[in-house]
Amino acid sequence: MKKATIYLETLICPSCVQKIENAVKLLNGVDKDSVKVLFNSSKAKFDFDDEKLSVEDAEKAITALGYEVIKSQVK
């Protein structure tokens, strides 16, 4: 399990948070309970299995929703 933090463009509507949260949760390999999208700091944090998923896949899922990804960190 690895921890990812994805820095996003400034989030302005709380429903964006819900959308991003669901989009990430639907990815295979993401620990669903760990997904947290932070509204004020505009970040998405989650744990994932790096054998099933790369952080780029998660970035792609978020960009597909129309949100810009600034950078991401995996630990």
Positions that interact with other proteins (CB under 8 A): 10, 12-15, 18-19, 22-23, 26, 38-41, 63-66
Which tokens in the block code for residue 54? 């790369």
Q: Which is nearer to other proteins, 33 or 51 (CB)?
A: 33
Instruction: Tell me how far apart the alpha carbons of residues 52 and 56 are, in angstroms, rounded to a whole number.
Output: 12
Helix (H, G, I), strand (E, B) or coil at 43: strand
Smallest separation (angstroms) from other proteins to the CB of 51: 24
Query: Whole-number minimum distance, CB 71 to other proteins, in Å?
Result: 13
